[in-house]
Amino acid sequence: MKVKVKKLVENAVIPHYAKNGDAGLDLTATSVEQKGDKIIYHCGLAFEIPQGYFGLVVPRSSNAKKDLLLTNSAGIIDSGYRGEVTAVFHKTRLLHPDLYQVGERFAQLVILPYPQIELEEAEELSKTERGAKGYGSTGK
């Protein structure tokens, strides 16, 4: 599948798979904004994701070495969005936070298909062994 990508700034890096079999395309920081305890990473790229697919922006595994949490856990890039892809992180430590710098890979983009569903309102739902038991329903 081909996905069009547009550079919005000169130093934008077109992402690629680092290794054969990787699911995520690494996004490289072109600029970094700090607003209080929020860090906004810009990749300087916009994507034309085909209809029936969406982009999922998630932290890289290297984020475990950083003092950052992605504020919305995962970002959804809808197929109709044509603006810049960014990621907003929250600093977990205010003293000496370890941050990504311009030129470093800060997140990854995974492009996935999704079904177009139709919801049907119902008076009753089918019964299951679990039923309405929520968090910790297995006792662990």
Give pLDDT tens digits along the chain (140 positions): 999 999 999 999 999 998 999 999 999 999 999 988 888 999 999 999 999 999 999 988 777 777 787 788 788 999 999 999 999 988 877 655 678 899 999 999 999 999 999 999 999 999 998 888 777 767 76
Strands (E) in the chain, as ranges, are 4-7, 25-28, 31-35, 38-42, 45-48, 53-59, 68-70, 75-77, 86-91, 105-113
Write the burial class of residue 84 (CB in 10 Å: 0-12 exposed, 13-18 middle, 19+ buried).
middle
Q: Locate all alpha helices (DSSP H) within the chain, ordered by sequence.
A: none
Please state, in angstroms and rounded to a whole number, the distance separating the CA atoms of residues 40 and 31.
Answer: 8
**Structure token pair of residue 138:** 């297995």
Structure tokens, 66: 């950083």
Measured between alpha carbons, how far is 51 from 104 in angstroms, rounded to an integer?
A: 30
